[in-house]
Amino acid sequence: MIATRLTEMFGLRHPIVLGPMGGVSGGALAATVSNAGGLGMVGGGYGDAAWLQAELARVETATRAPWGVGLITWSAGADIVELALSHRPHAFMLSFGDPRPHAAIIKRAGCKLICQVQDLAGARQAQEAGADLIVAQGTEGGGHGGRRATFPLVPAVVDAVAPTPVLAAGGIADGRGLAAALMLGAQGVLIGTRFYASAEALGHARAKQHIADACGDETARTRVFDVVRGYDWPGSYTGRALRNGFMQRWSGQEAALAAAVETERPAFHAAARDGDFETAMVWAGEAVDLIDAVEGAGALVARIGTEAEALLRDAARWTK
């Protein structure tokens, strides 16, 4: 068993946290990860109250282990934060924006505050806000993120915010990534794309299979999917997705896409509904190289954890 400040904080068997991917990390996936000894997180995304209510009720019913919820900070209003807290999560993750407006109410509720950051300034701001855990997210990760790479960012954040514990995210999909993150000073990892390609994840079966079939060279960071959906993301964040025809057509033409959105948006939403991923996006990180099948999330947690344990035990052979 790997013992870290993360595992001690929540009583976990493995120092693994499910990335709260909006529309993907629902209650069933979060409960499965928690039941397997990690920390499951429901991805509240932009704050759809009806969806969030249903998925939080689902995780409450399906596990007695610790679990949490995550929201996109710049989109989260006080009402949706209160809704999430009413379900009494053990952890609350804020990503992409200043956490300070919501930090106090989260901590008053007795909930551990997790803040995901993409640079050192964000890490210091999260520490100022009272974060119990800080996730250093590298640009290799799927979905929205920043510009810094995981390997140099994680130890820099560890040094900058000590003694606040840090988790690593971005490009991690197996036990090797977990073991490496621990050597960088992280207390655990947050994993997204690997759990997207799991049986319990929400989302279209074709999207999951695309992840299993893809390689990291087929991913790219872009703004086009935010433009067509009408989400006004701050300029410092782009989204990493699998390359497709829509991305190829509109990359570098975002202004033209915005001008054509009245016709492009209905077609885009129809494609997402129908599983047409030459138009709709599949958010995915560079770690798709390490994913070759859609598997059960509980088995993934166990395998990643035990792989890391074996690697760390074997590491002594490198020293004399």
**Residue 319 predicted with pLDDT over 90:** no
232-271 pLDDT tens trace: 999 999 999 999 999 999 999 999 999 999 999 999 999 9
Where does the pLDDT of residue 317 fall: very low under 50, low under 70, confident under 90, or very high at 90 and above?
Answer: confident
pLDDT score of 247: 97
7-54 pLDDT tens trace: 999 999 999 999 999 999 999 999 999 999 999 999 999 989 999 999
Where does the pLDDT of residue 167 fall: very low under 50, low under 70, confident under 90, or very high at 90 and above?
Answer: very high
How far apart are alpha carbons 187 and 185 in whole angstroms? Answer: 7
Where does the pLDDT of residue 154 fall: very low under 50, low under 70, confident under 90, or very high at 90 and above?
Answer: very high
Rounded mean pLDDT of the chain?
Answer: 97
Q: Whole-model pTM?
A: 0.96
